[in-house]
Homo-oligomer: A and B are copies of this chain.
Amino acid sequence: MAKEKKVEQITSMDTDFAQWYTDVVKKAELVDYSGVKGCMIIRPYGYAIWENIQKELDGRFKALGHENVYMPMFIPESLLQKEKDHVKGFAPECAWVTVGGDNQLSERLAVRPTSETLFCDHFKNVIHSYRDLPKLYNQWVNVVRWEKTTRPFLRTSEFLWQEGHTMHETEEEAREETLRMLGVYEDFYLNVLAIPAITGRKTEKEKFAGAIETYTIEPMMHNGVALQGGTSHYFGDGFAKAFDITFTGRDNTIKYPFQTSWGVSTRSIGAIIMTHGDDNGLILPPRVAPVQTVIIPVAQHKEGVLEKANEIKERLSAAGVRVKVDDSDNSAGWKYSQYEMKGVPVRLEIGPRDIESGVCVLVSRVSGEKKTVAIESVESEVAAMLDYVHNELVDRARRNLAQKTNEARSYEEFLDCAQNRPGFIKAMWCGDEECENKIKDETGGVKSRCIPFVEDKLSDVCVCCGKPAKHMVVWGRQY
């Protein structure tokens, strides 16, 4: 079946990955550009993906006892300044409200870039005794970080995210929470988004402003570039001290609580696009796809075809599948291209001869693999095909991750990888920021992604300076 224009207009990934990305987000109708610099419009199809992401994550958070709240979007400048590392990190990228109604404000208000300061200001009011702990809060909100160059989902001045903020009685509990939530993200990326990823700890240089430890999940995009998929921070009692949050402990002494925060944003949609997509467009992981199965009636003018298509739709819908029938006047070929572009994981074709034989055809969006199945058992067959597509995506992404992860034992090897082999580089590191800076400068942007939980011992010395190595680091370019 000949592809029609709509699809041919996409730039090939290999020709120009950035242009391919832009083509896909526009032509799959995920976003529209707005007249506001750096801000995107999330269209119905894109927003439906976000709603499914929210549902999956929110369920996991609540199952672990987290409660949703809503903090104000404005942060008075003096409040932002209470924790000095934090303000240094965020103040330069804030949008500032200076006028309210007709009046110049006496104090500027930052539009929240993140909400640690607001949560702390509130925690002070509601934490008094160990009985008030832990506080396990989360919010789903918009945040703003003023960006110079922006790209839909990947880097926008305004984006949507969830930010979890928790307070604990002991350091141990808080550290556990930090890692537990990273684990939730890892599970979510793999089992919902079909994205395997490297996880680990950020270096001092790369950690969140004000955190003691930052843990990260770093999926690799199809082109070998990393995307920070989510982070989980352990703060110790630093903010608590800065904000004077105290509680009476079990031993009747006054103590400071221990804090975490963690977040995943609409960038995760960028990760989906760049991990799974191909030259025919988007490929959506079944568990967040707004339409999991599209039914295309073949020769739909013939008697009984549309009726059967709609009957199957009702049955699938009753079985919990997000399904639609396209009974428009467009050609079957146009429809195939259209839903490939939109990344619908499974296509179900049904025509007069199929109906006679009591079958229909399921097609995987990933491999194009076709399977003829009995209409009788269409519910279980579609469910199995959706799982199959999920697994196909995971396998493919795993292969990409493995193929594009290199090891470097010398600086020459490192520079060679950085220049000629897109992907991650595993290499030993002495622990000095100086080496990180040197690597970044001399490679034009390769940075430490993380110190993974399991480190290989590639050699005894830092790949950069030759001093004794402290850690194995995964390095890479990033979005």
Contact = CB atoms under 8 A, between A and B. Distances in A.
B36 A76 contact: yes
A385 to B, nearest CB: 26
A282 B99 CA distance: 37
Nearest to A68: B47
A95 interface: yes
Interface string A31-73: 0101110011111100110110000000000000001111111
A188 interface: no
A137 B96 CA distance: 30
A92 B101 contact: yes
Interface in A1-51: 32, 34-36, 39-44, 47-48, 50-51
A362 to B, nearest CB: 27
B67 A48 contact: yes
A98 B96 contact: yes
Contacts of A291: none
A102 B94 CA distance: 8
A48 B72 contact: no
A121 interface: yes
B41 A71 contact: yes
Contact of A97 (B35, B96, B137): B96
Contacts of A118: 34, 41
Interface in A81-132: 92-102, 108-109, 111, 118, 121-122, 125-126
A89 to B, nearest CB: 13
Interface in A159-213: 160
A388 interface: no
A144 B69 CA distance: 18
B122 A74 contact: no
A85 B427 CA distance: 63
A361 interface: no
A141 interface: yes
Nearest to A93: B101
A387 to B, nearest CB: 26
A443 interface: no
Contacts of A68: 44, 47-48, 51
Given A41-B122, A44-B137, A70-B160, A98 B98 contact: yes
Contacts of A99: 95-96, 98, 108
A146 interface: yes
5 contacts: A34-B72, A47-B67, A47-B70, A48-B68, A70-B160
Interface of A: 32, 34-36, 39-44, 47-48, 50-51, 67-76, 79, 92-102, 108-109, 111, 118, 121-122, 125-126, 137, 141-142, 144, 146, 157-158, 160
